Amino acid sequence: MISLAAEQAIAGSGVFRLVLAGGNTPRALYERLRTLKTNWEAWHIYFGDERCLPAADSERNSSMARDAWLDHVPVPQKQVYAIPAEMGAKAAAAAYAVTLKQVGEFDLVLLGLGEDGHTASLFPGNDLGQGVGSPVALPVFDAPKAPAERVSLSAWRLSQAKQVLFLVTGESKREAVMNWRAGAHIPAHAITPRLGVDVLAESILLEG
């Protein structure tokens, strides 16, 4: 799906705008992308969320993506737009909003799903930034897992995409997926691109 999305975007506009998921789930996928035959110079990489840790910290999503994939392919460094979360959540959210100001619809957004239904760093009980005109990026100060301070693209901005793919692995996520498909208003439910979402769960692609 990523290869096809890239091919179509590059053929249509000369640019492929991809938003990466963090955490451990997408690591194997990113490692496989090292061998993809594509015009890497056309790729522009963004991040759905980031942990407020030092820039080179191995627990950052940007560090994982570089280690697993981006340091092994010739995507221009200036086209990898890491969230400057080392600045602190509030300042980093404001800075990333400026970075995205001239960026239109994403071509593909990759997201994960937590056991509690969270996606990116949009957690139950928090402002998801779902309404039209919501902030592009949100500071998060009370994530249930350390570090508590993070930055996340809002649900509204994540929904501004031609395609959204949720990557879901592990038996522990099954209940969250079932609740979501039954209409439960978990944070993932707030991601509403115009063409709907796809869910890749246990290697089975489900149309959302």
Identify the CATH number of the domain in which residue 179 sits: 3.40.50.1360
Q: What is the pLDDT of residues 70-103, one digit of tens each?
A: 999 999 999 999 999 999 999 999 999 999 999 9
The number of folded domains in the chain is 1
pLDDT in the model for residue 207: 34
Domain that residue 174 falls in: 2-207
> What is the rounded (10 degree) CA torsion for 101, 132, 83, 95?
50
Token pair of 208 as six digits = 């959302």
- Non-local (6+) Cβ contacts of 204 within 8 A are none
109 by DSSP, 3-state: which? strand
Which residues of the chain are under the pLDDT cut of 50? 203-208
Query: Residue type at 20?
Result: L
The pLDDT, as a whole number, for residue 69 is 97
